[in-house]
Amino acid sequence: MRKLIFILSCIVMAACTFQTKHRGYVFPNDLETQIATVKTTAQLQDLIGSPQVKTVHGDEVWIYFGEDENYHGPFPLTYDNKTVLLAWVKGNSVTKTKIMHDEDLPDVRIDSDETEIPAAIELNAMEELFNNIGRFSPAGLGQ
């Protein structure tokens, strides 16, 4: 009986571990003061690195994003310490910056539904297998 209780308690404790993974950029603690001195894109890249996204339309804006992803055993993921840095760029100079944190960002709920692709062909596993026969050349033939 003690062995069973010990094994169950080990399983329960293993399922309740807490783990945090950082996603995106790891910003310095004094981001506001460091960004205030940035005037060129070279300085910005030296401080933080290349942006994740550059806008295509309108003003050129470099976007940096970072957040912590928290695992709490069997419970759903939670995210915190979200930070977005927006830098408006004109040529090689940074004209304006804006830093947004958790409270400034909207809560976006991702829908679990899937969008159907028009004219998509749905194949089962056997059809996929037979569909690929003859499509690939043997390795090393250079074709």
Over the range 72-94, which residues count as b (16 or more CB within 10 Å of their CB) and which as e?
eeeeeeeeeebbbbbbebeeeeb
Q: Is residue 131 part of a domain?
A: no
Q: Is residue 137 part of a domain?
A: no
Query: What's the whole-number mean pLDDT along residues 13-26?
Result: 77
Q: Is residue 25 part of a domain?
A: yes
Q: Which residue has the higher pLDDT, 27 or 9?
A: 27
The identity of residue 132, as a single letter, is N
Q: Is residue 58 part of a domain?
A: yes
Q: Is residue 102 part of a domain?
A: yes
Q: Is residue 39 part of a domain?
A: yes
How many domains would you assign to the chain? Answer: 1
Phi and psi angles of residue 105, each rounded to the nearest 5 degrees, phi first: -95, 140
**Closest to 62 (Cα-Cα) out of 90, 27, 39:** 90
Q: Is residue 55 part of a domain?
A: yes
Q: Is residue 142 part of a domain?
A: no
SS3 75: strand
Residue 11 to residue 18: CA distance in whole angstroms: 14
Phi and psi angles of residue 14, each rounded to the nearest 5 degrees, phi first: -70, -35
The identity of residue 140, as a single letter, is G
Structural domain boundaries, residue 50: 15-107
Q: Which residue has the higher pLDDT, 107 or 85?
A: 85
Query: What's the whole-number mean pLDDT along residues 53-64?
Result: 88
pLDDT tens readout for residues 21-48: 888 888 888 888 888 889 999 999 998 8
Residue 94 to residue 68: CA distance in whole angstroms: 27
Query: What's the whole-number mean pLDDT along residues 90-102?
Result: 89
Q: What is the pLDDT of residue 122?
A: 80
